[in-house]
Amino acid sequence: MKRILFATSNEHKFREAESVLKAYSIKIVHANVSFPEIRADECSTVARSTATTAFEQLREHVIVEDSGLFVEALNGFPGAYSAWAYKKIGSKGLLELLKNEGNRKAEFVSAIAFTDGKKTEIFEGRIEGEITQKERGKNGFAFDVVFAPVGSVKTFAEDTEYKQKKSHRRKSFEKFAEWYLNYLKKHEG
Ligand code: IMP
Protein backbone atom coordinates (compact mmCIF):
# COMPACT_ATOMS: atom_id res chain seq x y z
CA MET A 1 0.00 0.00 0.00
CA LYS A 2 1.34 3.38 -1.00
CA ARG A 3 2.08 5.67 1.86
CA ILE A 4 0.70 9.12 1.77
CA LEU A 5 1.98 12.17 3.55
CA PHE A 6 -0.31 14.44 5.51
CA ALA A 7 1.49 17.77 5.76
CA THR A 8 0.28 19.58 8.86
CA SER A 9 1.79 21.19 11.90
CA ASN A 10 -1.40 20.45 13.84
CA GLU A 11 -1.09 17.24 15.83
CA HIS A 12 -4.85 17.16 16.57
CA LYS A 13 -5.71 17.25 12.89
CA PHE A 14 -3.29 14.42 12.20
CA ARG A 15 -4.73 12.20 14.92
CA GLU A 16 -8.30 12.84 13.77
CA ALA A 17 -7.36 12.00 10.19
CA GLU A 18 -5.40 8.91 11.16
CA SER A 19 -8.33 7.50 13.08
CA VAL A 20 -10.66 7.91 10.06
CA LEU A 21 -8.20 6.48 7.54
CA LYS A 22 -7.31 3.47 9.68
CA ALA A 23 -10.72 1.99 8.93
CA TYR A 24 -9.84 2.11 5.21
CA SER A 25 -6.34 0.67 5.76
CA ILE A 26 -4.81 3.82 4.36
CA LYS A 27 -1.46 4.57 5.89
CA ILE A 28 -0.76 8.24 6.42
CA VAL A 29 2.54 9.58 7.56
CA HIS A 30 2.83 12.81 9.48
CA ALA A 31 4.94 15.44 7.72
CA ASN A 32 5.14 17.95 10.54
CA VAL A 33 5.73 20.99 8.35
CA SER A 34 3.84 24.12 7.52
CA PHE A 35 3.91 26.08 4.31
CA PRO A 36 3.07 29.70 3.61
CA GLU A 37 -0.66 29.89 2.85
CA ILE A 38 -2.36 32.15 0.37
CA ARG A 39 -5.14 34.41 1.57
CA ALA A 40 -8.56 33.38 0.30
CA ASP A 41 -12.13 33.19 1.59
CA GLU A 42 -12.63 29.51 0.75
CA CYS A 43 -10.79 26.73 2.57
CA SER A 44 -10.72 24.74 -0.66
CA THR A 45 -8.83 27.51 -2.47
CA VAL A 46 -6.23 27.66 0.29
CA ALA A 47 -5.89 23.85 0.42
CA ARG A 48 -5.43 23.55 -3.35
CA SER A 49 -2.63 26.08 -3.37
CA THR A 50 -0.90 24.66 -0.27
CA ALA A 51 -0.97 21.14 -1.74
CA THR A 52 0.96 22.34 -4.78
CA THR A 53 3.57 24.01 -2.59
CA ALA A 54 3.80 20.90 -0.38
CA PHE A 55 4.32 18.61 -3.38
CA GLU A 56 7.05 20.84 -4.79
CA GLN A 57 8.99 20.40 -1.57
CA LEU A 58 8.13 16.83 -0.57
CA ARG A 59 7.90 15.19 -4.04
CA GLU A 60 5.47 12.52 -2.78
CA HIS A 61 1.74 12.00 -2.80
CA VAL A 62 0.56 14.49 -0.23
CA ILE A 63 -2.61 15.75 1.39
CA VAL A 64 -3.10 19.03 3.16
CA GLU A 65 -6.17 20.22 4.99
CA ASP A 66 -7.47 23.73 5.47
CA SER A 67 -10.37 24.30 7.80
CA GLY A 68 -12.25 27.03 9.58
CA LEU A 69 -15.22 28.10 11.62
CA PHE A 70 -17.81 30.15 9.74
CA VAL A 71 -20.10 32.15 12.04
CA GLU A 72 -23.37 33.24 10.43
CA ALA A 73 -23.92 36.42 12.46
CA LEU A 74 -20.37 37.53 11.55
CA ASN A 75 -20.89 36.96 7.83
CA GLY A 76 -18.71 33.87 7.89
CA PHE A 77 -15.86 35.32 9.97
CA PRO A 78 -13.33 33.95 10.95
CA GLY A 79 -13.75 31.32 8.18
CA ALA A 80 -10.53 30.55 6.34
CA TYR A 81 -8.78 33.02 8.69
CA SER A 82 -9.65 30.95 11.78
CA ALA A 83 -6.10 29.96 12.73
CA TRP A 84 -5.04 33.60 12.69
CA ALA A 85 -8.19 34.80 14.50
CA TYR A 86 -7.77 32.10 17.14
CA LYS A 87 -4.19 33.21 17.77
CA LYS A 88 -5.28 36.82 18.10
CA ILE A 89 -8.54 36.64 20.10
CA GLY A 90 -9.08 32.99 21.04
CA SER A 91 -12.48 31.49 21.74
CA LYS A 92 -13.08 34.05 24.51
CA GLY A 93 -12.69 36.79 21.90
CA LEU A 94 -15.22 35.06 19.68
CA LEU A 95 -17.70 34.87 22.58
CA GLU A 96 -17.14 38.57 23.17
CA LEU A 97 -17.93 39.37 19.52
CA LEU A 98 -21.21 37.47 19.89
CA LYS A 99 -22.06 38.85 23.34
CA ASN A 100 -25.42 40.38 22.47
CA GLU A 101 -26.09 38.21 19.45
CA GLY A 102 -29.09 35.88 19.39
CA ASN A 103 -28.07 34.09 16.19
CA ARG A 104 -25.42 31.60 17.33
CA LYS A 105 -25.36 29.50 14.13
CA ALA A 106 -21.95 28.42 12.87
CA GLU A 107 -20.39 25.84 10.62
CA PHE A 108 -17.04 24.09 10.62
CA VAL A 109 -15.63 23.42 7.17
CA SER A 110 -12.75 21.12 6.29
CA ALA A 111 -11.21 21.03 2.82
CA ILE A 112 -8.62 18.43 1.93
CA ALA A 113 -6.45 18.71 -1.13
CA PHE A 114 -4.67 15.64 -2.45
CA THR A 115 -2.04 15.92 -5.14
CA ASP A 116 0.16 13.43 -6.95
CA GLY A 117 1.99 16.23 -8.71
CA LYS A 118 -0.14 15.90 -11.83
CA LYS A 119 -3.60 16.45 -10.53
CA THR A 120 -5.16 17.86 -7.42
CA GLU A 121 -8.48 16.73 -5.95
CA ILE A 122 -10.52 18.49 -3.29
CA PHE A 123 -12.80 16.89 -0.65
CA GLU A 124 -14.99 18.91 1.68
CA GLY A 125 -16.78 18.16 4.91
CA ARG A 126 -19.04 20.40 6.97
CA ILE A 127 -20.89 20.35 10.24
CA GLU A 128 -23.41 22.87 11.46
CA GLY A 129 -23.85 23.84 15.06
CA GLU A 130 -24.05 26.71 17.50
CA ILE A 131 -21.60 28.86 19.38
CA THR A 132 -22.24 28.33 23.08
CA GLN A 133 -22.52 31.14 25.65
CA LYS A 134 -19.42 29.97 27.51
CA GLU A 135 -16.36 27.80 26.95
CA ARG A 136 -17.13 24.21 27.92
CA GLY A 137 -14.96 21.08 27.96
CA LYS A 138 -11.29 20.25 28.17
CA ASN A 139 -10.51 18.18 25.08
CA GLY A 140 -9.92 18.91 21.44
CA PHE A 141 -8.38 22.15 20.24
CA ALA A 142 -9.06 25.77 19.36
CA PHE A 143 -12.79 26.52 18.96
CA ASP A 144 -13.91 23.05 20.13
CA VAL A 145 -14.75 24.56 23.56
CA VAL A 146 -17.41 26.89 22.12
CA PHE A 147 -18.92 24.76 19.34
CA ALA A 148 -21.92 22.52 19.99
CA PRO A 149 -22.83 20.55 16.86
CA VAL A 150 -26.40 20.02 15.72
CA GLY A 151 -27.71 16.88 17.44
CA SER A 152 -25.75 17.36 20.64
CA VAL A 153 -25.98 19.67 23.63
CA LYS A 154 -22.30 19.11 24.37
CA THR A 155 -19.42 20.98 22.80
CA PHE A 156 -16.82 19.16 20.72
CA ALA A 157 -14.43 19.67 23.65
CA GLU A 158 -16.86 17.90 25.99
CA ASP A 159 -17.63 15.00 23.67
CA THR A 160 -14.68 13.99 21.53
CA GLU A 161 -16.33 10.70 20.59
CA TYR A 162 -19.17 12.60 18.96
CA LYS A 163 -16.65 14.87 17.27
CA GLN A 164 -14.78 11.87 15.91
CA LYS A 165 -18.01 10.45 14.46
CA LYS A 166 -19.58 13.58 13.02
CA SER A 167 -16.97 16.26 12.47
CA HIS A 168 -16.24 18.22 9.31
CA ARG A 169 -12.84 16.48 9.24
CA ARG A 170 -14.38 12.99 9.56
CA LYS A 171 -16.58 13.78 6.54
CA SER A 172 -13.85 15.22 4.34
CA PHE A 173 -11.45 12.37 5.17
CA GLU A 174 -14.13 9.75 4.48
CA LYS A 175 -14.76 11.28 1.06
CA PHE A 176 -11.04 11.34 0.41
CA ALA A 177 -10.59 7.72 1.55
CA GLU A 178 -13.31 6.37 -0.74
CA TRP A 179 -11.86 8.22 -3.69
CA TYR A 180 -8.26 7.27 -2.86
CA LEU A 181 -8.96 3.54 -2.71
CA ASN A 182 -10.27 3.75 -6.28
CA TYR A 183 -7.34 5.89 -7.31
CA LEU A 184 -4.94 3.25 -5.98
CA LYS A 185 -6.77 0.50 -7.85
CA LYS A 186 -6.47 2.45 -11.11
CA HIS A 187 -2.86 3.43 -10.63
CA GLU A 188 -1.44 0.30 -9.12
CA GLY A 189 -3.65 -2.40 -10.54
P1 IMP B 1 -5.66 25.81 9.38
O2 IMP B 1 -4.64 25.02 10.11
O3 IMP B 1 -5.10 26.97 8.63
O4 IMP B 1 -6.54 24.93 8.55
O5 IMP B 1 -6.56 26.49 10.49
C6 IMP B 1 -7.65 25.84 11.01
C7 IMP B 1 -8.19 26.68 12.16
O8 IMP B 1 -9.63 26.57 12.15
C9 IMP B 1 -7.76 26.14 13.50
O10 IMP B 1 -6.60 26.78 13.98
C11 IMP B 1 -8.97 26.47 14.38
O12 IMP B 1 -8.91 27.80 14.78
C13 IMP B 1 -10.13 26.29 13.42
N14 IMP B 1 -10.58 24.88 13.39
C15 IMP B 1 -10.62 24.06 12.31
N16 IMP B 1 -11.05 22.84 12.64
C17 IMP B 1 -11.28 22.87 13.96
C18 IMP B 1 -11.73 21.88 14.89
O19 IMP B 1 -11.97 20.71 14.57
N20 IMP B 1 -11.85 22.31 16.15
C21 IMP B 1 -11.58 23.56 16.57
N22 IMP B 1 -11.14 24.51 15.76
C23 IMP B 1 -10.99 24.19 14.45
* Alpha-carbon 88 to chain mean position: 19
Ligand 1 mutation pick, 6, 15, 82, 147, max ligand atoms within 8 A of CB: 82
User: What is the share, in percent, of the chain residues with pLDDT greater than 90?
Assistant: 96
The whole-number pLDDT of residue 3 equals: 79
Rounded to the nearest angstrom, the distance between the alpha carbon of 142 and the centre of ligand 1 is 6
The whole-number pLDDT of residue 183 equals: 94
Question: Closest by alpha carbon to 52, among 1, 102, 113, 96?
Answer: 113
Q: Is 51 exposed, middle or buried (0-12, 13-18, 19+ CB in 10 A)?
A: buried
The count of domains in the chain is 1
Q: What is the pLDDT of residues 62-75, one digit of tens each?
A: 999 999 999 999 99
Q: Which residues are catalytic?
A: 66
Q: What is the pLDDT of residues 141-151, one digit of tens each?
A: 999 999 999 99
What is the rounded (10 degree) CA torsion for 168, 173, 176, 180? -170
The response to whether residue 16 sits with its C-beta less than 6 Å from ligand 1 reads no
The whole-number pLDDT of residue 124 equals: 98
Q: What is the pTM of this model?
A: 0.96
Q: Which domain holds residue 168?
A: 4-188
What average pLDDT score do residues 47-54 get?
97
The response to whether residue 142 sits with its C-beta less than 6 Å from ligand 1 reads yes
- The residue whose CA has the least distance to atom 7 of ligand 1 is 83
Q: What is the pLDDT of residues 121-167, one digit of tens each?
A: 999 999 999 999 999 999 999 999 999 999 999 999 999 999 999 99
What average pLDDT score do residues 100-112 get?
98
- Cα separation, 26 vs 91, in Å, equals 34
The whole-number pLDDT of residue 159 equals: 97
Give the pLDDT band (50/70/90) at residue 2: low
- Cα separation, 42 vs 38, in Å, equals 11
The whole-number pLDDT of residue 171 equals: 98
Domain of residue 62, CATH code: 3.90.950.10
